[in-house]
């Protein structure tokens, strides 16, 4: 069997340090198939990053190195310095190639969005698109047995049930770091996204078909996580937690039945949700929701192919207020069908959302193989030859970007629960961390707490 060094290349902590769940899942799969695995998280080695990589390679002597790419950029057009993470990863790959001659395999959500372009740019050997638990074992078996294989492997769906879904191979050192830094870990209960949002890359990464873990499997894993690592808070990283089939409610029931006593948050879609359902979720440990509202009026919601209206967003928020569950809504201005009139209407609509946090982005990151990409080329916002490795943002040709951003800033002026540009929110959260606060932190803009004594 082979020795595989897995490297999580993410070094950003915005908005929060996020546990490299993908690496933990791939590690679990490899170990189950008899391979020896070492996990290296570069976020823990920032002071001596290349030295740590060199030491890991020399000590572990891997047959293969896998590098997980979480993000290409910040997907925020107003991000200070407009960081482009691929340049740092290129430096990493170049360094590895100086001291290591065996195959380098790329993977992760960032890679899956632009696999051909990233593989060529980084000059790595192979790549895996989408979930990697099954694919990486197939690739390593082929390479170990000198079987000719394609440079890029496309998705082989991992069966997600109690018999087929791998338990993440969490490591004590990494758990301690992330729990100390953010106050939570990550866990995924299902994969896939059936919605057809024009800008979104989730279907490219996970597919459109929803595939679930059993509720019992979820609850048992969380109990084990709490027992092994004393973790009592997490974030469910499902693309959308509240699926229309109601699987998320069965998970809540199991968390209560098995007395998990873990508080949790997740991404929600602002669709009809009743008070009994919210009570069930809250009783199971739900303490906050991040809501993909995405556009602020019906015209722009339709422009990105959302199936809900702003009234649905408003009613969802009112229901959460009644249930005393903090919400953060995320909106993007400047998308398809945006005009000066829709900007003003959208800001007026947002004023109706009380007792919640609101984060607003200017423009939408254009990603390949999305409807937004087709629109951007048709409207000549970008060239059809643009490989999209560097960030490009869609701004409706019917609205002036500077005017739009001024109007948003005016509408949010001196409002502590409104964040634009998003970096403004990150600055406030970093300040809260200084006082010892942990968790999502934006919820404190709604329900302030007293600082902890040092």
* Under 8 Å between Cβ of 156 and 175: no
- Residue 324, judged by CB atoms within 10 A of its CB (0-12, 13-18, 19+), counts as exposed
Q: What is the CATH number of the domain that holds 318?
A: 3.80.30.20
Q: What's the pTM value of the predicted model, to 2 decimals?
A: 0.94
112, 133, 153: which is the final residue of a domain? 153
The CA angle 57-187-31, to the nearest 5 degrees, is 40
Q: Tokens 């960081």 identify what position?
A: 83
Residues 211 and 282 in one domain: yes
Domain shared by 382 and 310, yes or no: yes
Q: Count the Cβ atoms, other than its own, within 10 Å of residue 216.
A: 14
Please tell me whether residues 130 and 208 are part of one structural domain.
no
Q: Is residue 101 part of a domain?
A: yes
Claim to verify: residue 148 and residue 229 sit in the same structural domain: no
Contacts of 394 (CB under 8 A, 6+ apart): 199, 334, 335, 336, 363, 364, 365, 366, 372, 375, 376, 381
Q: By C-alpha distance, which of 64, 70, 4, 15 is closest to 42?
A: 70
- Same domain (yes/no): 106, 251: no
**Which pLDDT does position 451 carry in this prediction?**
47
Q: Last residue of a domain, which of 138, 153, 168?
A: 153
| 65, 195: one domain | no
Q: Are residues 192 and 46 in the same domain?
A: no
Query: Looking at the domain assignment, is residue 178 inside a domain?
Result: no
Q: Judge whether 122 lies within some domain.
A: yes
Domain stops at, among 133, 153, 173: 153
Domain of 81: which CATH number? 3.40.50.280
Taking phi over 0 as left and psi of -120 to 50 as alpha, with beta for the rest, 380 belongs to left
pLDDT, position 384: 94
Count of all residues that appear for the chain in the document: 454
Residues 199 and 294 in one domain: yes
Residue closest to 316 by CA, chosen among 365, 277, 361: 277
In a domain, 364, yes or no: yes
163 in a domain, yes or no?
no
Contact between 101 and 64 under an 8 Å Cβ cutoff? The reply is no
Query: Across the 454 residues of the chain, what is the mean pLDDT of every consecutive 10-residue run?
Result: 97 90 96 97 94 98 98 91 93 97 97 96 97 94 95 74 73 96 94 94 88 94 96 96 96 98 98 95 97 98 98 98 96 98 98 96 96 97 95 97 98 94 80 75 72 43
Q: Is 343 within a domain?
A: yes
Are 195 and 147 within one domain? no
Same domain, 276 and 388: yes
For residues 129 and 190, membership in a common domain is answered with no
Is residue 57 situated within a structural domain? yes
CA distance 137 to 262: 33
Q: How many domains does the chain have?
A: 2
Nearest Cα to Cα of residue 100 among 65, 132, 137: 65
Spatial separation of the C-alpha atoms in residues 332 and 339, rounded to whole Å: 13
Q: Are residues 428 and 334 in the same domain?
A: yes
In this structure, is residue 113 part of a structural domain? yes
Residues spanned by the domain of 355: 184-445
């Amino acid at each position: 069997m082979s020795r595989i060094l897995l490297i999580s290349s993410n070094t950003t902590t915005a908005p929060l340090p996020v546990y490299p769940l993908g690496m933990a899942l791939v590690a679990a799969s490899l170990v189950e198939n008899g391979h020896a695995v070492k996990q290296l998280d570069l976020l823990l080695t920032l002071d001596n990053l290349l030295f740590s990589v060199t030491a890991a390679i020399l000590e572990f002597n891997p047959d293969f190195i896998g590098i997980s790419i979480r993000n290409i950029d910040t997907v925020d057009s107003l991000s200070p310095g407009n960081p482009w993470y691929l340049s740092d990863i290129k430096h990493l790959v170049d360094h590895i190639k100086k001291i290591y001659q065996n195959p380098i395999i790329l993977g992760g959500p960032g890679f899956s969005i632009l696999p051909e372009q990233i593989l060529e740019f980084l000059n790595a050997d192979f790549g895996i698109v989408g979930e990697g638990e099954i694919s990486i074992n197939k690739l390593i078996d082929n390479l170990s047995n000198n079987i000719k294989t394609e440079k890029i492997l496309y998705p082989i769906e991992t069966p997600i049930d109690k018999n087929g879904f791998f338990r993440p191979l969490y490591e004590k050192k990494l758990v301690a770091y992330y729990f100390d830094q953010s106050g939570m870990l990550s866990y995924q209960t299902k994969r896939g996204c059936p919605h057809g949002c024009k800008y979104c890359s989730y279907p490219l990464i996970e597919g459109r078909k929803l595939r679930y873990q059993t509720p019992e499997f979820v609850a048992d894993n969380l109990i084990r996580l709490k027992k092994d690592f004393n973790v009592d808070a997490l974030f469910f990283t499902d693309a959308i937690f509240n699926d229309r089939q109601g699987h998320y409610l069965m998970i809540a029931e199991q968390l209560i039945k098995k007395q998990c006593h873990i508080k949790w948050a997740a991404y929600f879609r602002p669709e009809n949700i009743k008070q009994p359902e919210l009570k069930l979720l809250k009783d199971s440990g739900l303490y906050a929701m991040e809501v993909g509202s995405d556009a602020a009026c019906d015209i722009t919601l339709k422009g990105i192919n959302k199936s809900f209206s702003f009234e649905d967003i408003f009613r969802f928020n009112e229901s959460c207020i009644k249930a005393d569950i903090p919400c953060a809504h995320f909106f993007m201005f400047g998308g398809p069908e945006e005009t000066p009139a829709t900007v003003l209407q959208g800001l007026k609509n947002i004023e109706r959302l009380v007792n919640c946090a609101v984060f607003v982005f200017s423009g939408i990151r254009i990603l390949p193989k999305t409807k937004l990409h087709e629109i951007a080329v048709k409207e000549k916002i970008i060239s059809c030859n643009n490989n999209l490795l560097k960030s490009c943002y869609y701004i409706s040709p019917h609205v002036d970007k500077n005017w739009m951003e001024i109007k948003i800033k005016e509408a949010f002026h001196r409002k502590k629960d409104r964040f634009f540009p998003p970096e403004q929110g990150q600055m406030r959260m970093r300040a809260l961390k200084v006082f010892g606060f942990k968790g999502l932190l934006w919820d404190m803009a709604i329900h302030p707490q007293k600082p902890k004594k040092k």
